[in-house]
Amino acid sequence: FPADSFDNVAGRCKALTNRFQDEGRDTAFHAIWSNQCIELWFLLHFDYMHANITRDEYRKRLSACIGRHYEKADATVFAQLRPKLNTAVKNAKRLMAEYNAEFPPSRRAPATNVYELIEYLMVSARLFIFDDREVGSRQKDVSPALLLYKALTFALFHPEAI
């Protein structure tokens, strides 16, 4: 996306949320982004990284982390990412803290706010995570947060299916 388009989406979400709140509606809009690419979010599951590299380099580094050639359509990578979710959240927050909060998303590279969605899903589903492993939820069946995380991962790997 061009930088203006990228930044305008985030600004538009904020403006819509403010308008809805002024109207007394309980609706919020929030842009979720990963700059330069979603593979940054995936890499943060394994280690902290603050290097603005090419998309090809992201894929090469991710291949090294997962121990095989990474392809965008590889939905099986989720199994390797899920146990490291807390690490990704911690690393993404650390990365975002490196930037002035007033910087638009296009000027934060590398950076991602995918962790905000994940935290929201965890709170919404009352899912408790500790030391990179799921230790419980209030339900005996599969948690809604895990289902939504899987759906998000599927959508990222299979955009043509949406």
Strand partners, 130: 133
**pLDDT by residue (tens digit) across 109-161?**
999 999 998 888 777 665 444 334 444 444 344 455 555 666 666 555 555 54
What's the pTM? Answer: 0.74
Summarised one tens digit per residue, pLDDT across range 88-113 is 999 999 999 999 988 988 899 999 99
Residues in the chain: 162
Confidence of residue 50 (pLDDT cuts 50, 70, 90): very high
Q: How many CB atoms lie within 10 A of CB 80?
A: 16
Closest by Cα among 94, 93, 84 to 46:
84
| Mean of the per-residue pLDDT values of the chain | 80
Could you report the per-residue pLDDT of 2-42, keeping only the tens digit for each? 667 778 888 888 899 899 999 999 888 888 899 989 999 99
